[in-house]
Amino acid sequence: MRTLVYTAEIDDRFGAGKVSSRIGLSSPAALFNAQTQLDREIATEHARQPVHCVLVDECQFLTRDQVKALSDVVDNMDIPVLCYGLRTDFRGELFGGSQYLLAWADKLVELKTVCHCGRKAGMVLRLDAEGRPYSEGEQVVIGGNERYISVCRKHYKQAIEQGSLDAIYGRQEPA
């Protein structure tokens, strides 16, 4: 089985052109940006050597046209396309790619992460360099000091309202 693996050019957490899983497996990956003509690239590869499957990581960064192009790969070339990514950003807004994947995908599988309280962690908090949550600013920040944690909706709201993680982890005593 030959699988073409793509990941977003924007994501450099694991070094360029590599998709890694949390259990330590990794695979080389082609990079896509908003200009990448995915259907053409896949057709070219398929003509060279048959492609059995396409995997797109960080699919929230796909454009509407690219999601359409991937649906053409499924419908016209009969190649299954699996996309993996985030539903919403740190403001609770849909990513563009995710919006159209949610609308047009044949099958949706929700991978569950758990908030520290045990509820489903469906929201993403962005933390600044001091670890304070905030919900303003650009959807994508490259090379900043912010980090992200997954929390449930209730604790997302509390963290944004309070501007701290106290509601999630309890108040930290000063060391």
Spatial CA neighbour of 87 closest among 70, 53, 66, 112: 112
Name the amino acid, one letter, at 151: V
Max Cα distance, the chain (Å): 63
Among 81, 105, 115, 149, binds Zn ion (CB under 5 A): 115
**87 contacts Zn ion (rule: CB under 5 A):** no
Residue 151: both structure tokens together? 């929390």
- Sequence-distant (≥ 6) Cβ neighbours of residue 52 within 8 angstroms: 1, 2, 3, 79, 80
Among 56, 62, 69, 152, binds Zn ion (CB under 5 A): 152
Q: Applying CB under 5 A, what is the total number of residues that bind Zn ion?
A: 5
Q: Least distance (Å) from Zn ion to the CB of residue 114? A: 9
Spatial CA neighbour of 62 closest among 82, 91, 43: 82
What does the per-residue mask of binding to Zn ion show for 153-172, with x meaning CB under 5 A?
Answer: --x-----------------
Q: Least distance (Å) from Zn ion to the CB of residue 81? A: 33
Based on the residue annotation, tell me whether 58 is a catalytic residue of this protein: yes
By the criterion CB under 5 A, which residues form the site for Zn ion? 115, 117, 119, 152, 155
Catalytic residue ranges: 58
